[in-house]
Structure formats: structure tokens, C-alpha cells
Amino acid sequence: MRLLPSLLAVAVGSSFAIQANEAESSVERITVQGDFRQQSVQQLSGSIAVVSEQDVKRTSAQHLDDLLNQFANVNFTAGASRGRYIQVRGIGERSEFVDTINPSVGILIDGIEYSGLGISGISDLAQLEVFRGPEATRFGANALAGMVNLTTKGPTATPEGKFSTTLANYDSRQLAGQFSNSLNEQVGYSLALEQQYSDGFIDNAYLNRDDTNNIDEFTGRFKLRYQPLDTLALQLITHFVDQDNGYDAFSLDRNRTTLSDEPGQDQIRSKAVALQADYSGLPFATVLAQLSWLTADSDYGFDEDWSYAGIHPDEYSTTDRYLRNRDQLTLDYRFISTPEGKLGNSDWAFGLYAANKSFDLTRQFWNWDLWQADSFVSALNRTNAALYGELSIPLNTHWTLVSGLRLERYDDEYSDSSGNAIENHDTMWGAKLSLNYQVNQQALVYLLASRGYKAGGVNGDALSKAADGNLTELLSKASFKPETLYNAELGVKGSALDQSITARVAAFYMWRDDMQVKGWLNPDSGPQFAGFIDNAGSGRNYGIEMENRLQLNPQLAVSLSASWLKTKLGNYITLEGDDFSGREQAQAPRFQYSLAADWYITDALLFNISLQGKDAFYYSDGHNAQSERYELLGARLSYQLNNWELALWTRNALDQDIGVRGFYFGNDPRDGYEPHVYEQFAEPRRFGVTASYQF
């Protein structure tokens, strides 16, 4: 732990280097969009990482998967064509099969909730923020461990546009365009379109194809801003995503060559509309409101045996398919105090939140008890209502006490084709208390305590298997309880006036109560599995994370983010009798780091290089299979000529096999179904060229 004092010293030392207070207002600052008030990241308590459009270009990122490795204490899993589930500080889901789960780490795009759906298209990214630690006051039940908040580009006062095209190996192509303008002083608009295609990184030897795990995604976003009054601004946001990806990722030979005769699919078609209002006509507060609606249909399926008919006399040959429909309507109504509306000298925020979400599932699978094709249908309707508020009390010119509270109620109505009809409900609360010492506008020391929560739910898969009469032990797992997370955090943020040094460090200790873990029951070691969510007694997660940037000279800048994490499962014994009490939690690597350098060789020629590393981690809380430690090397060389830019790039230049999902069981009849660690791998070595024109 000697590292902590030295890091704090760097941050505090850089902050005290600031001398010219009268010049501070002229310094460009990163403004956090996801907070109640748009504040500089250096003035906001909590561990927040921010990525801009320039950061995306540095790594030639084309998807959220390509960005997440540069964040300290952030991990993700795939289990589909894309990484869809995010873990922060070792906490987060890894999959969603039969049972609907409340995500521990949510995803917002322009204020619309996409948790569990992932992100398609980041070419129009304006800013991406990763909140680490419980953020219940701001975001509610979907931010037990953190929140990913993405803001896309919007209307502009003058015409602005960008068009880009990318060609890469594995027959990969990307075409993207954005344009924004104003019709007059009151009306502005923006439009962003993107199409991505790739054969994917799998060879199917049985079908003699290399595109069974392909990527085929279209994303469209449109914004219309209207300001009828000086005190009122309205914005209409529309999103459309058409994802028609293949899914053929797991190999019996545990490599990138599959034998599936019925490769699966990972299709999502979603539409979303949001209406935002910003009203400043009240003397005491600004009113921010958003009404949003989203509908998504998904078709996710795979070849369950990962092989073909005739591979072995002891084979089985089945598929598993999940057809989902999701509809959600949310309302967030927020009052933010103005200088005239302060309580004494204290700023405040107060909000109302309401949501109605429905999740309908049809699963088509092989019923091993009936020895025939079967289906399972379930419906979950969830309503949420919440009150929340935050109060910021200045104690003197440097010290501020910030407190926040959120009360949230959820009511579930669940039914399924097995005859189950269950109603669940609970009232949950989250809070924060932060003592901030603002050295000046660019340096902050804070001590934070926060409480987060996530909703419980119904184990529909366990109930349906128990109804079949063979797995009656699953009756004890009919439902699972909400989880609570307590967080204590000490953080330091500092930057030099000229931004030549920026440092952010946070040390934290988190206690998980009624920790939700994924459990599996496989009583006969055959192909039949029953999945369910279980509650372990408790869990502990503690560690440190930092982000630093150093401008060595006008031509060279170096960035470093790193984290160290220690986790521990509480009392957890599976239904099969395996005792994992005290073991490290899943998806929680001990260390992560990201080192990057930007070198302006000339005014027009820029070279970027990055190295990311991650320690091994367990794939699940229910078995001991682990990933391999790895390093990712990337580079980019770009040339700017007037409005044109040409870039040559590579990702995973060392061509390492990076596991993004892992299971441990037997699935190969050729060796008598001996258990193995089966992994889905991220992209191999990539290289390509990108040309763009911006005006």
C-alpha cells in the first residue's frame, strides 16, 4: 500500500502548483454531463472516468468493447456477439438467459436506458462517462456498482459534419456520417448514421464458412432542438438500432474453429424516443425533465452442442433460442436550485422518477425430460417510483458537505407457462454523504460514504425445472432478494493550471449485503442445466484506482490509468455442495493498467501507442475456471491534411487470445464429456485504415 501515499502526493502536489487564481476561469475543463449539475470532473466527488471523441480516435475504437479496457477497475463479458455486461470494481452481471435481472452497472445513451442491450455505434460520441461506485442518488437501482453514461453529438449553430470510412481485416467495413446545423435561431438538428460489417473472427470448419459469427449493425440517431422562449428549450431525440449479428463463438477444440451445424444469431432491433425540456423561468429553480420510450425485440440463440450430427455415437444435437420483447416508459423530473433559490447558501436538487417496464420471453429449447422440443414463456411487468434529492452545504470557502438520498419502490408482476404467478415488491433506499475540501477550482480532496441497491426478482428457470418434478431442490430458489452495497471512499483530484499534469486517485472499501450471484444446477452431469440467481451472505471489494496524464512537452503526452482490486465472497455454498466462501469474486482482476502516449511528430503527423494489461480473473462465482493474464498493444499513425485525415491502425497487435466469457463443464462427446474450460475470445490482431473528412 506504499503506492497510495505517493499517488496522493502527486495529485496534491500538482494541485498546489496552481498560483494564478484569476486565470482559472480561462482553463478548459472536462464537464461531467451525468451529474445533477454540469460540473468539472475535478470539482465533483466520486471516481469518474471521462472519454472524449479524441480518446476514441486514439485507440481507433469502433465499439464500446474497444474502449472499456482503458478504464481502471472496469471489466466486461460477452456471451453474445458483443460485450453487453459491464463490471465495475468486480461487481456486475455476466449474462442474461431465462431470468430478467436488474443490472448492477447500467448504460444510458442520451438519458435513455439501454442496460442489458449494449451499445451499437459510437461514431457520433461526444463524451462517455464511467461512474465507479454506488450512484443510487443520481441513477437509482441500475447503479449499484456504477453507471456508463454516453452523450452523443447534438445540434450546432452552424453547419458541421463528418464522414468516415474504415476498411480492416476479416472483411470489416464501417461507414459513418454526422451532420448538424440550425434552421434559425430557434431550431437546430443533428443526424448520425453508421453501418458496421465484419465476417467476425471464427472459422466454422463443418460448414466451411468464416462468417457464422459476423457483425452487421446499423445505428441511426436524430436530434431536433427547439427553443420557443429564452427560458425554455425542448429537444426531441430518436434512436434506431438494427443489429443482425451471428453467434457462433464457442469451440469444442477450445480455439477459434467451431464445428456447429446450426450456428446461432444475436439480433436486436430497438427504437427509442425521448423528449427533453429545460425550463429556467422559475425564480428558485431550473426544471429539467425527460420522458423516454424504448422498445426492443431480440433474437438470441446458439447451437447448444457446438457440433454437428454424426460427430460421435454419444452425441446430442440441440439448439437454444431466446426471443425477447422489452418495452419501457420512463419519466425523470428534476428541480435544480438557482442562486436565488438557495436554502441559505446551500445548493439543492430534487427529483421525481417513474418507470414502467415489461419483459416478455419465449424460450425454444429441447426438453430432456420429455425428449422433445419445448418452449417456455414468461412475462414480467415492473413499475418503479422514486423520490430523490441532494443538498450541498458550504461550510466555509474550502469545505463543502454534500448529502443525497433516494427512496425507490418497485412492484413486480410475474407469470409464466408453468403456471407460476408471483408478485414481488420492496422499498429500497440509497444515500451518499461527502465531505469535500476544494483547494481551488482544479484540486479536490473528498471523503465519501454511499449506499447503493438493486432489485430482487423471480427465478423463472428454477421454478419451471422444479415443476417438471426432477429438480425439486430448486423450489428453495423461487426468488432472490435485493442486494445492498455500502461504499467508503477517499479521493484526491488535481491538475496544473496549464493542464500539463492531471491526476485522480481514489481508494475504496465496499461491503455487499445479500450479494446476488449466478448459480447453476447440473445434477446428472448431462446437458441439462438449471440457472438461478442466489444470494450469498456478503462480499467485500476494496482497492485503489488512478488516472494520470502528463504533457511532457508540446509534442508528447503520456496517460496512465491503473487499479488494484481485492475481492472476497461471503458465505456461499452451492446447491451441489461446492463451498466458495472466502474466494475471490468473478470478473474481478487483481490489477489492470492502461498506458498510452500521443506523439505529434509534426503538426500534421500524429502517432498514438497504447498498452493495456489485465490480471487473470474467475469467470463465475460457481466454478473455478479462470481467464489468462493478458496485454493488449495498439498503435495508430494519422496524417491530417486540411479537412482530411488518413489513419493506419492496429489493435491487439500481439495477437493474444483474450477470454471475454468462460464456462466449465463437459460438452464434447469425443472425450466422454470430460469437463473443460470453454472460452469465448475477443478480437484477434486487427489492422485497418480509416479515412475521414470533417467540416
Q: Whole-angstrom Cα distance, residue 74 to residue 94?
A: 13
Question: Is 674 buried (19+), middle (13-18) or exposed (0-12) by CB count in 10 A?
Answer: exposed
Q: Whole-angstrom Cα distance, residue 634 to residue 67?
A: 12
Q: What are phi and psi of 483, to 5 degrees?
A: -110, 145
What is the per-residue pLDDT for 100? 86
46-82: buried (b, 16+ CB within 10 Å) or exposed (e) per residue?
bbbbbbebebbbbbbbbbbbbbbbbbbbbbbbbbbbb
Contacts for 459 with CB less than 8 Å, ≥ 6 apart: 99, 474, 477, 478, 479, 480, 532, 533
Q: CB-side exposure of 423: number of CA atoms within 13 Å?
A: 2
pLDDT tens, residue by residue, 224-242: 999 999 999 999 999 999 9
Q: Are 119 and 109 in contact (CB under 8 A)?
A: yes
Q: Can you list the residues of the chain whose pLDDT is less than 50?
A: 1-28
- The residue with cell 439501454 is 114
Q: Whole-angstrom Cα distance, residue 359 to residue 344?
A: 46
Quickly list DSSP for 579-647. B-TTPPPBT--SEEEEEEEEEESSSSEEEEEEEEEE---BS-SSS--B---EEEEEEEEEEEETTEEEE
Q: Sketch the domain layout of the chain as residue ranges.
A: 3-155+185-596
**C-alpha distance from residue 108 to each of 127, 480, 621 (Å):** 12, 26, 27
Q: Whole-angstrom Cα distance, residue 19 to residue 604?
A: 34
- The residue with cell 443510487 is 136
What is the per-residue pLDDT for 33? 87
SS (H, E, C) 327-364: EEEEEEEEEEECHHHCECCEEEEEEEEEEEEEEEEEEE
Q: Whole-angstrom Cα distance, residue 237 to residue 273?
A: 6
User: Can you give the C-alpha Rg of the chain in angstroms?
Assistant: 25
Q: Whole-angstrom Cα distance, residue 76 to residue 63?
A: 13
Tell me the residue ranges of DSSP E strands in 261-317. 264-279, 285-303
SS (H, E, C) 81-102: CCCCEEEECCECCCCCCCCCCC
- The residue with cell 425533465 is 289
Written as nine digits, the cell of 290 is 425527460
For residue 692, list its beta bridge partners.
Answer: 164, 645
Q: What angle do CA 488, 494, 498 make, to 5 degrees?
A: 160
Alpha carbon 454 to its chain's center: 16
Written as nine digits, the cell of 546 is 488512478
3-state secondary structure of 30: coil
Contacts for 370 with CB less than 8 Å, ≥ 6 apart: none
CATH architecture of the domain formed by 3-155+185-596: Beta Barrel (2.40)
What is the per-residue pLDDT for 474? 64
- The residue with cell 436486436 is 268
Q: Are 77 and 83 in contact (CB under 8 A)?
A: yes
What is the per-residue pLDDT for 11? 40
What is the per-residue pLDDT for 84? 86
3-state secondary structure of 653: coil
Written as nine digits, the cell of 125 is 460520441
Q: Are 549 and 562 in contact (CB under 8 A)?
A: no
Q: What are phi and psi of 231, to 5 degrees?
A: -100, 0
Q: Whole-angstrom Cα distance, residue 452 to residue 457?
A: 17
3-state secondary structure of 246: strand
Q: Whole-angstrom Cα distance, residue 574 to residue 601?
A: 57
Tell me the residue ranges of DSSP E strands in 417-555. 421-440, 443-454, 457-458, 479-480, 483-495, 501-521, 530-553
List the one residue out of 144, 125, 121 whose CA is nearest residue 134.
Answer: 144
